[in-house]
Amino acid sequence: MNITGNTILVTGGGSGIGRGLAEAFQKLGNRVIVAGRRQQALEETTAANPGMASLVLDIEDPSNIRSFAANLAAQHPALNILINNAGIMRAENLQAQPDDLADAEATITTNLLGPIRLTAALLPLLQKQPQSAIINVSSGLAFVPLAPTPTYSATKAALHSYTQSLRYQLRNSTTEVLELIPPYVATDLMNGASDPRAMPLDKFITEAMEILKTQPAGGEICVANVRPLRFAAESGHYESVFLGLNKAMESAH
C-alpha cells in the first residue's frame, strides 16, 4: 500500500497502539480519523495532533457501527484505509467463571465481531477507491495463547484466520489486506505500560512503519520481537515457547 496521501480510519485510536499508528500516519502526510468509545481520549489525541479528526464509535453495538459507517462516508468520502485496532484484554479464571461470562462475551464482541462488522460496513466505500487497504491488528498471542487471557488469545487467532480469508477473497480487487501482529507492547492494555518486559510503544511503531514502507511479506507486519511467537509452530518450538511464555507470566505474579 502507499503510505502517504491516504484517508485513514484508526479504531481504538485514542490511546496505545492505535494512537501511535494514527500519529505516525499523519506525519507521513495522511488524513487521519481516530475512533473509539472514550470521547475524552479522542479529544486529547486530536488536540495533540492538529488536523486529526475523531468520531465516537461503540464497536460493541451493531447499529452504532452501521450509523457510524454512514456518517464516516458522508464526512470522509475519500476514506481508503481501515485499521481495525480497537480491542480489550481481560484475565479470566476458567475454573471459577461467573454465570454471565460478561468478560468473555465482551472480548469476542469487541475484538472479533467488531472488526468483522466494521469491515462489512465500510468495504463498499473502500472498494470505490482506486486503491484501498484493510489492516487488522491481531497479536502474537494469536499464535501462542497466553493462558490467563484465553478469550483474548482466541479472538486474535480467529481474527488472523478471518484476515487470511478476507485477503484471498479480495485478491483480485483494489483492496489490499494486511495483518499487523504486535508483540507485548507497553500500553495500558493489561497494565503493560509499566512492565519492563514490554516492547516500548515508540520502538514498535517505528519498526512496524518501516516494514510497511518496504511492503510486508505475505501481508503480515511482524516486528522482530513477535517472530518467536508468530513462527513458533513453523519452527518446531511451539511447546517450549508456549510453556516459556506462560511460566514467565506466572512468575511475574
Could you tell me if residue 243 is inside a domain? no
Work out the pLDDT band at 172, boundaries 50, 70, 90: very high
Task: Express as a percent the part of the chain with pLDDT over 90.
Answer: 89
Residue 133 has pLDDT above 90, yes or no: yes
Work out the pLDDT band at 218, boundaries 50, 70, 90: confident
What total number of domains does the chain contain? 1
Could you tell me if residue 240 is inside a domain? no
Q: Give the tens place of pLDDT for each residue, 51-78.
A: 999 999 999 999 999 999 999 999 999 9
Q: Give the tens place of pLDDT for each residue, 178-207.
A: 999 999 999 887 665 678 889 999 999 999
What per-residue confidence (pLDDT) applies to 42?
96
Could you tell me if residue 93 is inside a domain? yes
What per-residue confidence (pLDDT) applies to 189?
73
| C-alpha cell at position 81 | 484505509
Could you tell me if residue 232 is inside a domain? no
What per-residue confidence (pLDDT) applies to 195?
82
Instruction: Report, as an integer, the average pLDDT of 154-181.
Output: 98
Could you tell me if residue 250 is inside a domain? no
What per-residue confidence (pLDDT) applies to 217?
73
Could you tell me if residue 25 is inside a domain? yes
Q: Which domain holds residue 142?
A: 7-226
DSSP 116-166: HHHHHHHHHHHHHSSSEEEEEE--GGGTS--TTSHHHHHHHHHHHHHHHHH
Could you tell me if residue 117 is inside a domain? yes
What per-residue confidence (pLDDT) applies to 215?
76
What per-residue confidence (pLDDT) applies to 228?
97
Could you tell me if residue 231 is inside a domain? no
Task: Decide: 103 and 147 in contact? Cβ < 8 Å.
Answer: no
Task: Express as a percent the part of the chain with pLDDT over 70.
Answer: 97
What per-residue confidence (pLDDT) applies to 58?
96
Mean residue pLDDT of the chain comes to 95
Q: Crossing angle, helix 150-169 and helix 114-128, to 10 degrees?
A: 20
Q: Crossing angle, helix 16-27 and helix 201-213, to 10 degrees?
A: 50
Q: Give the tens place of pLDDT for each residue, 120-131.
A: 999 999 999 999
Helical (H) or strand (E) element with 114:
helix 114-128
Specify the CATH number for the domain of residue 78.
3.40.50.720
Q: Give the tens place of pLDDT for each residue, 143-160.
A: 999 999 999 999 999 999
What per-residue confidence (pLDDT) applies to 193?
62
Give pTM, 2 decimals: 0.96
Helical (H) or strand (E) element with 180:
strand 175-181
Task: Decide: 211 and 222 in contact? Cβ < 8 Å.
Answer: yes
What per-residue confidence (pLDDT) applies to 190?
64
What per-residue confidence (pLDDT) applies to 196?
83
Q: Which residues are catalytic?
A: 152
